[in-house]
A and B are shown apart, each in its own frame.
Chain A
Amino acid sequence: MTPNFSTIKIAGPAGSGIKSAGQIFSKILIDHGFNLVDYSEYPSLVRGGHNTYQITFSNEKVFATHFNVDLFFSVYPNHWQSHQSEFTKSTLVFSEEDFSNIKSKATFINLPLKEMADQVGSPLVINTLCLGVATYLYDLDVQKAKDLICEAYQKYCEINLNAFNIAYSYAEKNFSKFQIKIKKPKKIVKMGFNEGNEASGWGFIKGGGSFYAAYPMTPATGILHFLANKQTEFKLTVVHPEDEIAAANMAAGAAFTGARSATGTSGGGFALMNEAVSFCGIAEIGMVYYLVSRPGPATGLPTWTSQGDLLHAIYSGHGEFPKVVLAPGDVDESFELSHTALDLAAQLQTPILVVSDKLIGESSSSTKYFPDIEVKINKGKIVNEIKGDDFKRYAFTKDGISPVSFPGTPGGEFLCNSYEHNEFGFSTEDAVLSEKMFQKRMLKTKTALKICPKANFFGSKKAKKLIIGWGSPKGAILEALKLMDNKEDFAFLQLKTLWPINPEIQTIINAFKETIVIENNGTNQLVTVLKSQFDFNPTTIINKNDGRPFFPEEIIDLLTAKK
């Protein structure tokens, strides 16, 4: 039977074009109608070291990259060494090395990259040489490949096409017996190819976002780069200020004037933004914080992945005030929850956090085509016309939400206050009023429960076991369930709103005798959150906290090992 998925990986030092080759090959695959999920690893440096880029693709939906690799390219010798556990007996490993004495279950093939690069006249084309070989091995459309190579390299199109042709002909002549069979898609639908950070950016634009301020920090910087590039086209104000404190407070100022506003960072920057989160809480400023996590503490592992900031997000900001924490599980959900977050910020007038991680933020996949999606925007309770001069910005209401006026509106003048205040916004230290104002704000948590995104439930309510998770492990879990023989035994509950916790979650969980929580962190933070809400004792807890994501094969092993 022809397999319906395959995984290709390319490895080499930083600066050798690993990522561009991977991204171009992904686009070639998408042009053939393949679905795919990419994953890349790189150290925190600009030249040297060891970078990898891998793609799992299929004619069907793919949720995560696989651990086992079918086709491996080492653009310089030895970059395959640390990946031997990923090789199977059907793996093909290409590198420029004498493999005559190698002992491995995989097949190693010498690829004369240097000689071919000399023929082209540039050592920079080694990555494109690999593309030529891969295009041949998967029997892909040569013209599509060439078009995308030209699109990517622009004025260096010719030299790269030359490299592609040389490698393709070489493969045709020497590697016909290595061609890899894979089911091709029957039809080609219009898809996008985006990283999670780009998807968040598209969600921001489509959700009416107009102001973004951020200080660079891996792995959140992609949102800043993306929006900075789009600022002219979509009339955005995008600012890179002096620090994260400024970024968050600027975004709050912008939101006060009526902008749909956001900031973004990783854990360290978010630590600095905590004061602003708290400020938005009491001043009732609706704005969005994108928190794209990497492993901490402190500088931690800058270019790796972690779900270690869930509690930091939920408990961010001193004092007690309502907030919402959302977590996309993949790139498409990064788009969706990004525009949802802007709506919630407008509706609830309080900080809305969107927590993802390096795995989602910096991994590309085939997605919906975002530029074509129109989103209906909810602007919340805004007053544009005010009679008299006694406007109560912080009026007591049943749902805790008071109509807001923006500067420029006569009669709507008010003090947006970081101190406790009365209905007009003026400071108060009155005991009764302080308590009442606090209670008014907390009503927004109830309102949030009604309008925040519901959890995803996959599988049957009658399954034997319930997997519970949030964020990026969604991909590996769904991919594992796709591949497992006993998939009917499992259902999967993916929380999209991590705060406040909807009481429905308890009802769903209590219907299962056996529960398995899967998190990419070291201290089971979701378990802590759920335990704080109801009596919860998961049967099994699966963690991983080494900066690496879960892979589907690993999930399968863990689920079958733990009975």
Chain B
Amino acid sequence: MINYRSNITPTFCPGCHNFLVYAAMQSAFNALNLKTSDLVINFDIGCVGNMADFFKTYAVHTLHGRSITTAMGEKLANPNLTVCAIGGDGGIYGEGLNHLIAAARANIDITVFVSNNFLYSLTTGQTSPTTPKGARTKSTPLGNVSEPLNIVKVLKSVNSNIFVKSVDAKDIQEVTKNFKEALEFKGFSIVETRQECVAFGKQLKA
């Protein structure tokens, strides 16, 4: 087993689904025998982005929303690298949506993992692009007025040649399998893991 982990103990809340994503990423990398020196992971800003400290590969903790663009620059400059990006629904679908659409259109050979917990969690639970309509969150106490984004639908209409999946984070086998397939896919791939934020997710159920 190749070691992808740093010595730093993960700081997610106990029970956070990002632990599963963290484990699945390592399994998928290992299954493909990816060397830590030929792998670049770009972490967005958010709870999930904080995973940056728990890996020991070539990596960039990018700006919020820019994990995909940074990854694209790397892949274009050095196509020999395996390049992936990971972020939340806020970073990838909100601040960085323009970049996601552009990457899908370009069908660039990078892999994006999205921890979709339907909220901005690191900033303590505001509405995100995937928050259900009507949900009362810290930033929408009167109810969210917007329709939630269905990224699979959107991206399939942008480019039918890409790999796009949405899976339940709790189904770790399915997650790992899809991460592996996405990494193997020649072209743009994205796997969304649907998650529950144990700290702020209760708002969405009210």
Residues on A facing B (Cβ under 8 Å): 210-211, 213, 237, 239, 241-243, 245-246, 249-259, 261, 275-276, 279, 283, 389, 407-419, 426-427
Contacts and interface: CB of A to CB of B under 8 A. Distances in A.
A249 B80 contact: no
Q: What are the 9 A-B residue pairs with the smallest beta carbon separation, nearest first?
A: A253-B73, A250-B73, A254-B77, A253-B70, A249-B69, A254-B73, A407-B58, A259-B77, A242-B102
5 contacts: A213-B73, A242-B101, A252-B73, A254-B76, A408-B81
A221 B31 CA distance: 45
Interface stretch (B33-41, B137-145, B163-171): B33-41
B197 to A, nearest CB: 21
Contacts of B39: 407
B110 to A, nearest CB: 10
Nearest to B77: A254
A250 B69 CA distance: 5
B56 interface: yes
B37 A409 contact: yes
A235 B37 CA distance: 25
A460 B78 CA distance: 51
A408 B70 contact: no
Interface in B74-110: 74, 76-78, 80-81, 98-99, 101-102
A419 B47 CA distance: 14
A418 B37 contact: no
B135 interface: no
Given A246-B102, A407-B58, A275 B77 contact: no
A253 B72 contact: yes
A404 to B, nearest CB: 12
Nearest to A275: B63
Given A415-B53, A415-B59, A253 B102 contact: no
B136 to A, nearest CB: 31
Interface in B52-70: 52-53, 55-63, 66, 69-70
Interface size classification for chain B: 35 or more
A418 B61 contact: yes
A410 B73 contact: no
Nearest to B66: A249
B59 A254 contact: no
A243 B68 CA distance: 13
A329 to B, nearest CB: 31
Nearest to A213: B73
A408 B60 contact: no
B37 A413 contact: yes
B58 A413 contact: yes
A253 B37 contact: no
B61 A415 contact: yes
A276 B42 CA distance: 15
Most buried by B among A210, A241, A249, A258: A249
A419 to B, nearest CB: 6
Given A211-B77, A413-B36, 18 more contacts: A246-B66, A249-B70, A253-B71, A253-B72, A253-B77, A254-B73, A256-B70, A259-B77, A259-B78, A275-B66, A407-B39, A408-B78, A413-B56, A413-B59, A415-B55, A416-B58, A416-B60, A418-B62
